[in-house]
Structure 1
Amino acid sequence: MSSVPPSEAAYDRIRLRQWTRGRARSAGVGRRDLLKLVAAASAAGSLASVASPAHAAGSLPGVVKPLPPELFTLRGTNAETNFAALRDTGLLTPADRFFVRNHTATPRIDAADWRLKVWGDGLTGGPVEFSYADLLALPSVSRTAFVECAGNARSFYASQQNQPVTGTAWTLGAIGTARWRGVRLADVLHRAGIGRDAVDVLPRGLDGEVVSDGIQLGRVRRPLPVAKALDDVLLAYEMNGEPLPPDHGFPVRLIVPSWVGIASIKWVGDIEVSAQPLLSPWNTTLYRLFGPAHPPEGSAPLSRQTLKSAFELAQGATFTAHRHQVLTGRSWSGGAPVRSVEVSTDGGTRWHRARLRDEPRQGSWVRWSADWVPAEPGPAVLLARATDRSGRSQPEVSVHNTQGYLFDAVVRHPVTVV
């Protein structure tokens, strides 16, 4: 098989047609229930009415690590990194500041008892199991990559564009970049005997089963096209040189570079290799785009992340007039590496090129800085916009969708000059 994946857009269009025509197999949930959830997903409500309120605290039930309020804002079962807390870190996000996205609660798993089962009709033989020691004995690979929730920046649909969306009201902190070490998923699949007729690879997590609108969705799982699975995906067991922390997937998780975070399944327990196209709630009702700008049946399942920029600065920060300041931030893209970043300190009237502090690389972010001498006291709005090497730049307005995914517009960052 070729190690170069085909067009992701082409794959997604094929899956969308198979879904709408009933030609893909639903892995674990009845088609009638999936159709019911799709109908609900296509109707938008107010973000404030459905999103869990944000609050600051030192801990969260279901999350193992401490969550001090200077580092995190808590949102339901999740913890968002306060972007200002990244200012004194390097390119990599320390594990104690890495955002947490949990559908239920962090499971506590003993690595000695853990097994990865690879199974399905896309294998040439029967099921194969790997222990934790088995994976550690295989050739390892390290890769720097960000993991970002598809709903990162979702709240700006409401606050900047006055458009209703559903879901967790993330600002820009549902992202982190780490140095991941593990085994190529391709190596494990080849050892398990992946066949030439395999088309989808479905990893499943060991966290608790999810219930939505009274429907049992099962454990979190989302299929990957076999070409992507055989390309650059890792079964990671280390994060920044240490074993994965419990909240970030111990003992083993997937890392799917540049794709929406739901693809990087945590606490992997089994992987189905299928000779038929597979569907789950996480690529049918969830992680697709619904709304007036999208097809009535919804878009194809989301794959690559979009383009964003953020200041390493608290909302409403205060600056002293006529005093030199150095503004810092980060930009990233799920497509081509970031090429340039521009900053405006007057609400978008004038733009100035920022200095890149890192060599832009695929699947990672770049840090940047820009000088500013605030003039007169009063309110000010800071803006940052990135352009990647494909020529794509952040727009002024993001195309709306009811579930608030893939917000890519320039974010307005209000501050005060005194």
Structure 2
Amino acid sequence: MGTDIRGPGACEHAYDRARLRQFLAGEAAGEGLSRRGVLRLLGAAAGLAAAGTGTGAGVAAAAGRPGIVKPLPAELFTVRDTNAETNWQALRGTGYHTPVDRFFVRNHTSTPVLDPARWRLTVWGGGLRGRAVEFSYDDLRSLPAVTSSAVLECAGNGRSYFATQQGDRVSGTPWTMGAVGAARWRGVRLADVLRAAGLSRRAVDVMPRGLDPRYTAGGTDYGRVRRPMPVAKALDDVLLAYEMNGLPLLPDHGRPVRLVVPSWVGIASVKWVGDIEVSDRPLFSPWNTVFYRLFGSAHPRGGSAPLTCQPVRSAFELAPGAEFAAGRRHRLTGRSWSGGGGVRRVEVSADDGASWREARLHDAPRPGGWVRWSVPWQPHEPGPARLMARATDTAGTVQPFRSVPNDQGFFFDAVVRHPVRVVRDP
């Protein structure tokens, strides 16, 4: 039996802004990144946005293969370059946790197949009291086990709606709303591993790095996926997970071990983690300088702070264009979630927002999780219709009707207009 952990998943906006200032002043560090180098990469971000690359396709897609190991049946997934998006109609009736066979896949390159018996995790850096420490798979499993039910989501989830719903030009993988899933994760606290490795009081940042192939885009080699977080977050609710929904992780979901960072953007939950740098200096990588920040005319010159907590979002468990018989009573279902707290209210409209009906919630609000909901609907006249759902979280944040655009298409949080068709009852 594991201990349940549900931390607050705090957003570290002030931390991130301070780190960016420190990096540009030459006071922060990043493997393979000089101050001049990061300025060059920041300049390249605009070019990547214009070219439509940098957040989706990688070397596996260029080779003409998806780079994903598990089966991807068309009824469950839509394949997008090196990624696989869950079809929302496949989640109807599946329970709170997303079944592993239909959990989305977000890869920068391709899935590595690693042997747990040969895998090692190295914890190293100036933020430790002594030398680097190595952990085997068995070492991790010998530590106290914890469990955490958490939603993971790509920051680009909903990206396609910037174009189709708002007319904005953005770059990256054209996700609809299927780059999200909830699972029950089992593993060890990152805090326990860091303390076992000799965490010192000097430590300020922790940067996990994956063992997937190096990521190249726009002619630039960005190295392996890695992204720092403050020590305070690492010691809070972060998990080094080796099981998902009661079974060992599949390769596509991080086997042998991955991070799970509740409420934060999915890039923070590094898969196939092979080493963790613990630093006594601020750290940066391309994944919080070039990528996973907001660029564009609506944002500060030079970009926003690096993205942390996810926004509020909602989705129907329906295929686009689903048909409903006129004059019959139907049960609409869906799910809503937020990185800023639990979801406490969901409203549904079937008349383009002219009227709203409160949905029944089937789960209690919880940080880092989602709620399932349902609402009855009885359409009367045949023809096209658009369903809409908007959620309110425990912090009082309500989904807007328009999302603020950004060049790389992150954080689409607007109410989605879901097209359906009402037909005559045969």
- Structures share a fold, TM > 0.5? yes
Partner AA of 1:111 in structure 2: P
Asked if the contact 1:201/1:223 (under 8 Å) is kept, the reply is yes
CA distance in 2 between partners of 1:49 and 1:275 (Å):
30
Question: Residue 368 of structure 2 corresponds to which residue in structure 1?
Answer: 363
Whether 1:376 and 2:376 are equivalent positions in the alignment is no
Are the structure 2 counterparts of residues 148 and 50 from structure 1 closer, same or farther at C-alpha, using a change threshold of 3 Å? closer
Q: Which amino acid letter does the alignment assign opposite residue 288 of structure 1? A: R
Q: Which residue in 2 is equivalent to 1:68?
A: 73
Which of 5, 21, 26 is equivalent to 1:22? 26
Q: Which amino acid aligns with 1:36?
A: R
Question: Does the CA contact (< 8 Å) of 1:318 and 1:415 recur in 2?
Answer: yes
Counterpart selection for 1:11 from 11, 15, 30: 15
Counterpart position of 1:192 = 197
SS at 1:126 equivalent = coil
Is 1:84 the equivalent of 2:85? no
Letter in 2 for 1:260: V
Name the aligned partner's letter for residue 406 of structure 1: F
Tell whether the 8 Å contact from 2:337 to 2:370 is kept in structure 1 after alignment.
Answer: yes
Note the 1:45-60 alignment, pairs <5 A.
45=50
Contact 2:316 2:333 in 1 (8 A): yes
CA contact (8 A) 2:9 2:237 kept: no
Q: Which residue of 2 aligns with 1:305?
A: 310
The alpha-carbon deviation at position 50 of structure 1 amounts to 9.2
Give the Cα–Cα distance (whole angstroms) in 2 for the partners of residues 26 and 110 of structure 1: 29
Name the SS for the 1:80 alignment partner: strand
User: How far did residue 159 of structure 1 move?
Assistant: 0.6
Aligned-pair CA distance for 1:48: 10
SS of aligned partner of 1:227: helix
Instruction: State TM-score, norm by structure 2.
Output: 0.93
Letter in 2 for 1:313: L
Does 1:207 find its partner at 2:193?
A: no
1:347 aligned counterpart, secondary structure = coil
> What is the identity, as a one-letter code, of the residue corresponding to 1:25?
A
Q: Indicate which of 228, 239, 260 corresponds to 2:244.
A: 239
- 2:39 is equivalent to residue 35 of structure 1: yes
SS at structure 1 position matched to 2:39: helix
Note if contact 2:23-2:35 (Cα within 8 Å) is conserved in structure 1.
Answer: no
CA distance in 2, matches of 1:285, 1:20: 13
Matches within 5 A, 1:204-353: 204-353=209-358
How far has the Cα of 1:30 moved from its partner? 4.1
SS at match of 1:26: coil
Q: Which runs of 5+ in 2 are unaligned?
A: 1-6, 58-63
Are the structure 2 counterparts of residues 343 and 14 from structure 1 closer, same or farther at C-alpha, using a change threshold of 3 Å? same
Q: Against the structure 1 CA distance between its residues 369 and 223, is the aligned structure 2 distance closer, same or farther, given a 3 Å change threshold?
A: same
Deviations 1:348-389 (A, max 9, x none): 110000000111211011000000001111110100000011
**Letter in structure 2 aligned against 1:109:** L
Return the match for 1:126 from 109, 125, 131: 131
What SS does structure 2 have at the residue aligned with 1:247? helix
Q: CA deviation at 1:60?
A: 5.4
AA in 2 matched with 1:219? R
**Is this contact kept in 2: 1:99–1:175, CA < 8 A?**
yes
Q: Quote the residue 1:174 is aligned against.
A: 179
Q: CA RMSD in A?
A: 1.8
Determine what percentage of the aligned residue pairs are the same residue: 65
Query: How far, CA to CA, are the matches of 1:211 and 1:18 in structure 2?
Result: 26
Q: CA deviation at 1:31?
A: 3.8
Q: Structure 1, residues 150-171: CA drift from partner, whole Å, max 9, x if none?
A: 0000111111110110100000
Counterpart residue number, 1:148: 153
- Which deviations, in whole Å up to 9, do the C-alpha atoms of 1:61-95 show, x marking residues without a partner? 31110000000000000000001100020000011
Larger deviation, residues 209-218 vs 375-384: 209-218
CA contact (8 A) 1:25 1:278 kept: yes
Aligned residues between the structures: 410
* TM-aligned CA deviation for residue 397 of structure 1: 0.6
CA contact (8 A) 2:128 2:199 kept: yes
For 2:382, the aligned partner's letter is P
Aligned AA for 1:42? A
Task: Write the deviation string for residues 259-295 of structure 1: whole angstroms up to 9, x where unpaired.
Answer: 0000000000000000000110000000000011111
User: Are the aligned partners of 2:152 and 2:265 in contact in 1 as well (CA < 8 Å)?
Assistant: yes
Question: After TM superposition, what 4+ stretches of structure 1 lie above 6 angstroms from structure 2?
Answer: 3-7, 48-52
d(CA) in 1 for partners of 2:70 and 2:265? 24
User: Is the CA contact 1:80–1:174 (under 8 Å) kept in the aligned structure 2?
Assistant: yes
SS of the counterpart of 1:39? Answer: helix
